Amino acid sequence: MDKLFHVIEAQQFDRPLLSELFAVTKEMEEVVSRYGSNILSRRLMASLFYEPSTRTRLSFESAMMRLGGQVVTTESAREFSSAAKGETLEDTIRIAEGYSDVIVIRHYESGSARRAAEVASVPIINAGDGPGQHPTQALLDVYTIQKEIGRLDNFKIAMVGDLANGRTVRSLAYLLSKYDGVKIFFVAPRVVRMKDDIKAHLDEHGIEWEEADDLIAVARDVDVVYQTRIQRERFGDRIEDYEQARGKYVIDQTVMEALLESSVVLHPLPRVDEIVPEVDGDPRSAYFRQAHNGLYIRMALLQMVLES
């Protein structure tokens, strides 16, 4: 099996690599419960975040430190790195690679992680590139699905919310196309429906999908509801479209009553108002467990790109 180096897009993972990653991720759960490891001591991770983040940045930094490594970081990099003086992304990467062994980057432009990888001699990990992809989120999503419902073949999932701008659902759709017997329902307001390139990819890979309007009816039929936030920051001055989309699909007690006892609700987070806090205590609300799995997946990725 080829060594994992850059992590740029979900399509680069095949089933054997996913199985290997999930096995290492499971080991990382044990490592954390034993208070960490020193396998990445003397290794240094640079995290460059040009867009806001809580989970991805903190979990990557925590992952590196849990494995004995160290971190240099810039948040709000648009403002606080030399990007503010006009430095190109390529030049920033050429500098950061001299200071670190791996670079984790979140950027506001689709394709930016690939641009970074083209000039980098150290591994680049895409932590979200605008509306493009968020592959490490999709990896933790798939790991969570396996943990929560016990399988990755033969299940039904509803992707709900901002499917046009959602990089997490794009990456997740690419990963799910690796599995058998998966059916995807797209439940989105008209202005943010799933894009045609993803639908074409699913068709090419024999994955059944359907667009639906009735969230309650879909909730009765699926194993996973994957809710997403309507992303105000992607609408620019299209305020009317944003207002039309927000609040249309909300996970509340009525949706939870429709959901099977064995099904789960996921969300990449952050949420705004698309899941009411009153359902957080329901054991089928798995989104905080999902976010915690991000630590283990990112520990496994760092170990695999730096050590294997």
CB 56, min distance to ligand CP, A:
3
User: Any contact of residue 55 with ligand CP (CB under 6 A)?
Assistant: yes
Catalytic-residue membership of 134: yes
Catalytic-residue membership of 56: yes
User: Any contact of residue 269 with ligand CP (CB under 6 A)?
Assistant: yes
CB proximity list for 153: less than 8 A, separation 6 or greater? 179, 180, 181, 182
CB 248, min distance to ligand CP, A:
21
Q: How many residues in the shown chain lie near ligand CP by CB under 6 A?
A: 10
Out of 3, 34, 42, 85, the active site residue is 85
Look at residue 162 and give its three-state secondary structure. Answer: coil
Catalytic-residue membership of 271: no
CB 252, min distance to ligand CP, A:
22
Contact letters (x/-) for ligand CP, 200-219, by CB under 6 A?
A: --------------------
CB 128, min distance to ligand CP, A:
6
Neighbour-count burial of 119, counting CB atoms closer than 10 A to its CB (0-12 exposed, 13-18 middle, 19+ buried): middle
Q: Select the residue interacting with ligand CP from 25, 37, 47, 56 (CB under 6 A).
A: 56
Q: Do 20 and 144 touch, CB atoms closer than 8 A?
A: no
Out of 134, 167, 170, 248, the active site residue is 134
CB 282, min distance to ligand CP, A:
21
| Separation of alpha carbons 105 and 120, rounded Å | 12
Classify 267 in phi/psi space as left (phi over 0), alpha (psi -120 to 50) or beta: beta
| Residue 299 CA: distances (Å) to CA of 12, 27, 217, 304, 306 | 19, 10, 38, 9, 11
Nearest to ligand CP of 37, 171 (CB atom): 171
Out of 6, 25, 43, 55, the active site residue is 55
Q: Which of these, 268, 308, 229, 51, lies nearest to 140 by C-alpha position?
A: 268
Out of 6, 57, 106, 229, the active site residue is 106
Encode 25-46: b = buried (16+ Cβ within 10 Å), e = exposed: beebbebbeeeebeebeebbbb
User: Any contact of residue 43 with ligand CP (CB under 6 A)?
Assistant: no
Residue by residue, DSSP assigns 166-184 as -HHHHHHHHHHTTSSSEEE
Q: What is the dihedral of CA 76, 78, 79, 82, to 10 degrees?
A: 120
Out of 25, 56, 92, 228, the active site residue is 56
CA dihedral over 98, 101, 106, 107, signed as positive or negative: positive
User: Any contact of residue 133 with ligand CP (CB under 6 A)?
Assistant: no
User: Any contact of residue 54 with ligand CP (CB under 6 A)?
Assistant: yes
User: Any contact of residue 268 with ligand CP (CB under 6 A)?
Assistant: yes
Catalytic-residue membership of 85: yes
Nearest to ligand CP of 181, 270 (CB atom): 270
CB 273, min distance to ligand CP, A:
17
Q: Which two tokens stand for residue 7?
A: 């992590």
Residues that bind ligand CP (CB under 6 A): 53-56, 128, 134, 137, 268-270
Active site residues: 55-56, 85, 106, 134
